[in-house]
Amino acid sequence: MNRMNRRGTEKPIEIFVALFVILAVALVMLKLFQGQITEKQAQLSQFQQEQKAKELKDSVVLKCKSLCTDASNNGCSQQSLAALCMGGAEEVLMAEGITYLDLDQNNVMNFNAKSFGGVGVCEDRVYCFNGFVDQCCNQKITPAGCFAILRSFWTTQMNYDAATQKGLICSYLNRGTCTPTAAEANTAWWKTVLNYPTCS
């Protein structure tokens, strides 16, 4: 009888211990599962960010190629080439409600020294000549090439003097609002252009 009573009281304790162990294991498993979900969510977020950046870059490439096609269709006129040289990411970004092209995908608008062709840019002012189109109508679409195209167009077609041209360059080819370091500034696209005006 005594032994039966002892067994009767031991049974609830064994059940309690078993339940406690099951609960502890369940909590550990839940914690592991939660960690995996968080990790997967971070990976998904990173992937979505990369995809969005790629889509935006692709849209800018399409915009610039479209401007080149327009120039070709217009007999490679200086005006059409000038439009290509002044074109870039701004229109695409505005349509998306975004203020900069996050080239390095760090969620910060900054100076990017590793853009196309190794020429540095401010991410809020990226142009077709920053590597989105290399050549159009047998003309190099580079910062220096576009500067020459614009000056030629403004001189021969528009009869603008040097002061007016400087104002237009500073207006249409804004460097952006980032502040590169002295070392970074040496890689900037405006440093690759001979006689690019100081706009201030």
Quote the number of domains for the chain.
1
Kindly state whether residue 141 falls inside one of the protein's structural domains: yes
In a domain, 97, yes or no: yes
CA 176 to chain centre: 14
* CA pair distance 92, 5, nearest whole angstrom: 82
Residue 10 lies in a domain: no
pTM of the model: 0.77
Residue 129 lies in a domain: yes
Query: Does residue 114 have a pLDDT over 80?
Result: no
Mean pLDDT of all residues in 3-21: 69
- Please report the pLDDT score of residue 189 as a whole number: 92
State how far the Cα of 12 lies from the Cα of 104, in Å rounded to an integer. Answer: 62
Domain that holds residue 153: 45-191
Map residue 73 onto helix, strand or coil.
helix
Residue 37 within a domain:
no
Q: Is 168 in contact with 115 (CB distance < 8 Å)?
A: no
pLDDT at 29 over 60: yes
pLDDT in tens, 146-173: 999 999 999 999 999 999 999 999 999 9
CA distance 146 to 152: 10
Q: What is the pLDDT of residue 9?
A: 62
| Residue given tokens 């870039």 in the structure block | 88
